[in-house]
Structure formats: structure tokens, C-alpha cells
Amino acid sequence: MTAPAPPAEPIPAAAVILLRDGAGGLEVLMQQRREGASAFAGVVAFPGGKVAPIDTDPAFAAHADLGAPEPFPHARQLAALRELFEECAILFARAGDAAAARDTLLGERERLDHEPHHWPAVLRERGLRLAGDALVPWARWVTPAIAPRRFDSTLFVAAAPAGQEPIGGREADEYRWARPADLLAAADREELYLVFVTRMNLMRLALCESVAAALDAARLGPHPTIQPVRAMMPEGDMMVIPAEAPYPVRMLSYAHSSMAIEAARKGKAKKQA
């Protein structure tokens, strides 16, 4: 009898939950992943991506004001800052006018996306420092062991910097500011796809009335490592998180998992073909 294959090793990653206060309450920036994106193609997600070798380089950290290393290491903060700029051209910079600082880097965006090792040199040439301490640790999620491709993702929350709107990049080209409750309702109407981790974090954000409230909740913690498991419950086939995780619910239908959503997307595309 052949032994089952071991679970895939999780890929280190980081993402930013960017927030602003809108007319109807707290709003979050979401991006529509391109169909050809390297991960989570076609779904609506927070900006983020894989940790790159440059994110562990002291030369990169030397050009950033980083927050405390706990509970997440500095490499995750740098990855979050870098991916936020590469994916939607939003820059957290220590400058008198962060929007103007962003504009000075736009011409380098494609090069930094494809060759991120240039970040330290580009920041040095322009006299810029990244404002990593604007990111507040929010949560750490690890993809379930049953998934064929897994991520060890750290999430940060931050107030959106003034004067910067997202600009499409290689991984995403559609963006929207929306209230968490409205995004969840749109997903329930099957107008967009939200994977389990995104849906759970939007449910948590929906409890916050303002940016200040969300940042306070992040600072308060806790920040456990959350690795969902698939389990048969009285409610049905569910994805379950630990009881101590700071979320309003601890399980949702397996239909919300990334694996099920990917299968549903492929099935829908096949029917439309």
C-alpha cells in the first residue's frame, strides 16, 4: 500500500489589509486577481505575495523604519511593503509627501516587480525610507495541510496613505474600496469569489466601525497561528479554525475553501465555453 504524500511545504507570504473611513463606515481595499495570476487567480483578495530573498537582506531593512519584530519577523514587514507597491503602486514612505514619493518610484515599478533585489539601491538613490511601522500585525494564517499549494501568510492592517489610489499591476488590474459586509454579501450572491481566509478576515473586520477600531483590535491581539482543518461537523463538511482565534465564527462550509472555489471557478468556465 502506497503511503500518502506528505503535505506541501507552506510558502512564506505577507499581505496588507489597507483601510480607510468611508461615508458608510470602515472600507477595505480589495484587488481582483488576474486570471493568469500566480496564485488565487480570479478571486478578490488583499494585496500581497510571497516573501522574496531580498526581504531577508539587511541592506533592504536599512532603508526602512520597521515595527517591533514580534509577533512577525521583519522580513514579513518588508515583503508586505514591497508587494503592496508592486501589486497596486501604494507606497508607505517616510517622506513629507508620501504621494510624491510614490510618484518618484512609479518609473521603477516594473523593474522592481521582476527584479526585487534592486529595492535597496533604488531607495538609496532616491533618498527614501519605507514606513514599515505603519503596518500593524493582524493575523497569521497557514493553508490547510490538504491543499496542493500552501502559504504561511502574515497579515497586517494599515490606514491608507493619503493621496494614493491603486494602479493595476502584473497580478491584479481591478480594485475596489468597499465595506466588509458589502463584500461578503456580494460573495454570497456569487458576484465575486472570496476564499476562506479572506472571508474570515472580512467577517472580523465587519465588527470594526472605523480604522481606529480595527487598528486597536490588531494591537490588542491575540495573534495565534491559524491553520484551518477540514472536518465533518453536524452542520456538514466544514473548514474549522482554533477556538482561541479572534474571529466571530470558527467554522464555515468547505465550499468557501480555496480548493472548492477553484473547482467551482473551473466548472463555471467550462460551462461557459
pLDDT tens-place string over residues 226-248: 999 999 999 999 999 999 999 99
Maximum Cα–Cα distance for the chain, whole Å?
65
pLDDT surpassing 80 at residue 77: yes
Residue 226 backbone dihedrals phi, psi, to 5 degrees: -110, 115
Q: What is the pLDDT of residues 150-195, one digit of tens each?
A: 999 999 999 999 999 998 877 777 899 999 999 999 999 989 999 9
CA atoms within 13 A on the CB side of 189: 7
- Structural contact between residues 195 and 258, judged by C-beta atoms closer than 8 angstroms: yes
C-alpha cell at 245: 482565534
Nearest 5°: phi and psi at 129? -120, 140
Alpha helices in 18-73 (DSSP H): 58-61
pLDDT tens column, 35-46: 655 555 578 999
Q: Tell me the pLDDT tens digit for each residue of 16-63.
A: 999 999 999 999 999 987 665 555 557 899 999 999 999 999 999 999
pTM of the model as a whole = 0.91
Say whether pLDDT at 76 is over 90. yes
- Long-range contacts formed by 74-78: CB under 8 A, 24+ apart: 74/132, 75/12, 75/51, 76/12, 76/14, 76/51, 76/154, 77/14, 77/132, 77/135, 77/156, 78/54, 78/130, 78/132
Task: Give the closest residue to 152 by CA, choosing from 7, 35, 11, 37.
Answer: 11
pLDDT band at 2 (very low <50, low <70, confident <90, very high): low
Instruction: Determine the topology of domain 11-213+221-272 in CATH.
Output: Nucleoside Triphosphate Pyrophosphohydrolase (3.90.79)
Domain ranges of the chain: 11-213+221-272
pLDDT in tens, 156-166: 999 999 999 99
- Nearest-10 crossing angle of helices 119-126, 98-106: 120
Strand 236-240 with 44-45, pairing: unpaired
More confident site: 271 or 77: 77
- Pure H helices in 133-256: 180-188, 196-205, 211-220
Strands 44-45 and 130-131: unpaired
Given a cut of 60, whether residue 3 has pLDDT beyond it is no
- Tens-place pLDDT, residues 121-140: 999 999 999 999 999 999 99
Backbone torsion region of residue 89, taken as left when φ is above 0, otherwise alpha when ψ lies between -120 and 50, otherwise beta: left
Measured in degrees and rounded to the nearest 5, phi and psi for residue 268 equal -65, -45
